[in-house]
Amino acid sequence: MKNHLFIGLGGQGGKTIAELQKVIFSRNQDAEHLKNLGQNWDFLYIDSSRDVTEERRNWVHFGKNLSLKPSSFLYLKDGGESIDARSLSLQPDVAPWIGDVDKLQGFLEGSQGIQGANQRRRLGRLLYARNSERIKKAVCEDKIGPLLSAGNECVIHVFASLAGGTGSGCVVDLVSMIRTEFPNASATGGFPIFLYLFVTNRKFEEAQVGFFHENQAAAIRDLNALACGKFKPTLFGTGRNGSVFAGSEPFSQVMLSSHLTSRNQQLSLSQQHQIVAEAAFERIYSYASGNLDTTLQKSLTGEDLLATFAGEPIRNQLRSFRFGSVGMRRWEIPIDEVRELLARSLQVSCLNLLLYQNWSSSMGATEAKLQTGIPGFAETENLIMALISRESAAKAHVDQLGDKLNADLARFHTGKTKEGFKDLDLAGYEAELRQRYETHLDGRGVEEVFRTITAERHQRVERIKSGIHEIIQQAWTRSTNRLGLSYISDILLRVQEHVRKNAEGLNAEHSRNSPVRTRMD
């Protein structure tokens, strides 16, 4: 088994091919080992819809685009969306099974523009019949042909779902065509066919558009009858003239994948794609490396055929078991879990850096506050203190008022000081000073001045709040000397303490001046 062709039939088959590409990419060392052992492989995806190929996430793995080459995708509707059932019914390879042409044509006309075969097996088979020569050329000439240069043998692996129209409608005819072209079914030096088929689905209601379970039952029935020699499907293509399949061993194995495991665990369809793809690659790797279990190897190579008695006709040989299960157990890298763990670890590291700005060359961003040398701490504190100082009433008004009051008093006393306050009327002097204080200070009088200061208090507080917010935002987001968020509360507490001490200092100064004011009064 040196050469391998992996065929994805229908949407689920295409998704399994995509998962197989990811397996080979992830296990590149194992893939290289197989190459060194002389193993070769190629891919072909056959479908009546472009949905899977156009969905980029199906084919991207760790940033690597693993999409198939255009030559590895065969689109069954390249000849046009419409299918002329009446014209096809005249062909000798279609006439025996097409049934009521008018009924079929009516359905086809009502399903124009719908992607895929819409869960109609007969529609899937019509698509195969219309493209039989293209499929034969793609499989036998374009894919298997080049592989034979490395040895006249090839294993064909077919992935498909039996619930849809394309997979269930085409799988029997695909197998019949390949076995007719390559009659030797031997696993050693021949062309064995292995079918990997998806059946049932715990969420089948979401995919149900017509004949979900009916398709599966009919396809399994036909495959079983084909294997037993009880079903002779018509062969498609020019030159066949309605002849039927006459091969003796159409396929070597059918592996069915469902949503339930042997331990009654539920599996999603995407998980089944991954498991089947991994199992297909692992079987090849284990067999080529000589590590495959003896029982599984016999079922793979066909050595488990029951011995025939003397004189018994050698036809329709029976396997030692009709049904079995296949599984594997090996160590694997939990890629999804590791990816999530790395994402969470990166998130925690980023949050620690934003909070503490404490970087360790050995541990990265650590979850601990710096005690000294905190980046941006002193700078941010000084900016906030400067802002409060600028906006304080003492800075903005009191000093200026004091200067204006002193200047006004100087002007008032200019003449009186020259006369040495002779014959000074103290009562009149006090009344005159009070009048100037109450009406002339800053051109408005003391009451109006302090009323204005009081009215502006709210605006000053708002400017301080917005200013502090802007300072903190800039300190946290600047490119250098960035401040960690956890230190902001420490800065604000220090600023609060500084403001409180300033207020206490002003009150103390006021108390010291009280005796002087009392004596003056």
pLDDT tens figures, 82-113: 677 777 777 877 877 777 777 777 766 655 54
- How far is it, in rounded angstroms, from Cα 254 to Cα 198? 10
Better-scored residue on pLDDT, 421 or 9:
9
Q: Which of 227, 157, 152, 158 is nearest to 190 (CA)?
A: 152
Least confident range of 117-121, 168-172, 396-400: 117-121
Mean pLDDT of the chain: 81
Q: Which position has the token pair 């009327």?
A: 425
Least confident range of 62-76, 87-101, 312-326, 414-428: 312-326
Please report the pLDDT score of residue 139 as a whole number. 96
Please report the pLDDT score of residue 516 as a whole number. 43
pLDDT digits (tens, 9 = 90+) for 235-275: 988 777 778 898 888 998 888 888 887 777 788 888 899 99
User: Predicted confidence band at 204 (pLDDT cuts at 50, 70, 90)?
Assistant: low
Spatial CB neighbours of 512, under 8 Å, sequence gap ≥ 6: none
For residue 521 the two structure tokens come to: 């009064």
- How far is it, in rounded angstroms, from Cα 481 to Cα 375? 5
Please report the pLDDT score of residue 206 as a whole number. 52
Give burial (CB, 10 Å; 0-12/13-18/19+) of 118: buried
Q: Once rounded to an integer, what is the mean pLDDT over residues 24-48? A: 93
pLDDT digits (tens, 9 = 90+) for 454-493: 777 788 888 889 999 999 988 888 888 888 888 889 999 9
Least confident range of 61-70, 98-107, 394-403, 470-479: 394-403
- How far is it, in rounded angstroms, from Cα 443 to Cα 437? 10
First to last CA, the chain: 117
Percent of the chain with pLDDT over 90: 29
Please report the pLDDT score of residue 230 as a whole number. 86
Better-scored residue on pLDDT, 359 or 144:
144
Q: Which parts of 152-192 are beta strand (E)?
A: 155-161
Q: Once rounded to an integer, what is the mean pLDDT over residues 410-425? A: 62
Please report the pLDDT score of residue 520 as a whole number. 44
The helix or strand, by DSSP H or E, that contains position 518, with its residue range, turns out to be helix 488-520
Asked whether the predicted pLDDT for residue 325 surpasses 70, the reply is no
